[in-house]
Amino acid sequence: MKRKEQQSTLRRRKKAKIGSGEKNDEDRLSSLPDELCSYILSKLPTVDAMKTSFLSKRWEYMWITVTNLEFDFVRHFVQELELCIPKTTLDKLPDLLFTSKSLKVLKLDDNVIWELISSCPKLENLCINNCSMYHMKILNICSSELQNLSLIGCDIFPSCEVNISASKLKSFRYNCPVVRKFSLEHLCTLTKADIDIQGSLYFVKSNKEHAKRAIKIIGRLNNVRTLTLSSKCIEFLATALDLLESFSCNLNNVRHLDVTFWCHKSYIKVLSSLLMCCSAIETLSVGIDMTPAGSIDVHFKNVVTTVPMCPLFNLKTLILRNFVGVNKLDLVKSLVKNAKVLEKIVTISAEGVAKERTIEWIKRRAQ
């Protein structure tokens, strides 16, 4: 009997110790400062950290103070993801990001793009195609091995700065709106440039401002040997003929010039100014674009004869694209007259059929 009483007393003491321990543990956890509790939660999976909000009122919003969140988005079929990561905290993008079968839209801020490019030291070809960059303030592209760069159809805000530094760049294509500042550095090896400057939905200033920015871009291409300018680019340049006439850019390294424009008198003046800058060209390709409604110049023929064309001492090949009509052939006749060593004339129809022509053929068609 006495032994049973001792065992019962011992069991009560154990229960008391267990209860006392649980109470002490609870008090000890409740007495921790918020910073330490937040640190503890940061070591838990995000979902488990969120579950602690049901413990008490103190823990209701404690989980939102953690500095790191883990989301297993790949296994939950996420379709759109936007990453805004401070430059100093970016280590690398997770491999699962590029193997997701459901991801359709990936938005990267300027810091991520900069780190992504700089983390590829052997990158030789880079094409940024149809990317929305209206939120970016600065686009930095710096690579010591980059050889081919294309910015195509990107929605860039006009106040953005574009800085390109690539000492081995050979080919550059720009098919985007003009920006406030466009910096091209260390491009001594650049030999080919295709400039197709576009308007911007966010641009509220005049086309003349477009022209100023376009002239600055073209002025930095003094090492290229092949230069292509679109009809839209020529259109912007035509709105600032006074600036273009005083354009002192040295494009004497250009050997192949490819331009496209509409049949309008101001565009002929742009061509004349460009030919003065590109005095060493050997191949000139001129294309006539579809004339937009309201832009038809009925006096195009007279304009051609009055706009002076500089002598083309090195021009050997003249390529004509989409030339239909006597008025346009007058432009050809003017070019032929100033080409001192012309060897070949090639016409390319709208269907893409190319034919080699003689100078006599041009003269007969222009009569």
Taking only the tens of pLDDT, the chain with its 367 residues reads 555 555 555 555 555 444 444 444 455 766 788 888 888 888 888 888 888 888 888 888 888 888 776 666 656 666 776 666 555 555 566 666 666 667 666 666 666 676 677 767 788 888 888 777 777 788 888 888 899 999 988 878 777 888 999 999 999 999 988 888 888 888 889 999 999 987 654 454 566 777 888 888 888 888 999 999 998 888 888 887 777 766 666 788 999 999 998 877 788 888 888 888 888 999 999 988 765 544 445 445 555 555 567 788 899 999 988 876 555 677 788 888 888 899 888 888 766 666 776 666 665 655 5
Q: For residue 201, what pLDDT is reported?
A: 47
Q: Say if residues 241 and 234 touch (Cβ distance below 8 Å).
A: no
Residue 87 lies in a domain: no
Residue 15 lies in a domain: yes
Q: For residue 258, what pLDDT is reported?
A: 96
- The structure tokens listed for 225 are 């040997």
Domain tally for the chain?
2
Q: For residue 185, what pLDDT is reported?
A: 85
Q: Is the dihedral of CA 237, 175, 289, 310 positive or negative?
A: positive
Buried b (16+ CB within 10 A) or exposed e, 328-347: bbbbbbbbbeebeebeebeb
Residue 138 lies in a domain: no
Q: Domain range holding 14?
A: 2-64
Residue 205 lies in a domain: no
Which of 64, 85, 106 is the C-terminal boundary of a domain?
64
Q: For residue 261, what pLDDT is reported?
A: 85
Q: Tell me phi and psi for residue 100, to 5 degrees.
A: -65, 130
Residue 135 lies in a domain: no
Residue 100 lies in a domain: no
Best CA proximity match to 231, nearest among 360, 322, 142, 157: 322
Residue 73 lies in a domain: no
Residue 145 lies in a domain: no
49 CB-near residues (< 8 Å, 6+ apart): 41, 42, 63, 66
Which of 64, 94, 109 is the C-terminal boundary of a domain?
64
Give the helix ranges, DSSP H, for the chain.
2-30, 34-42, 46-51, 110-118, 207-219, 231-238, 241-245, 265-277, 300-306, 326-338, 359-366
Which of 64, 80, 113 is the C-terminal boundary of a domain?
64
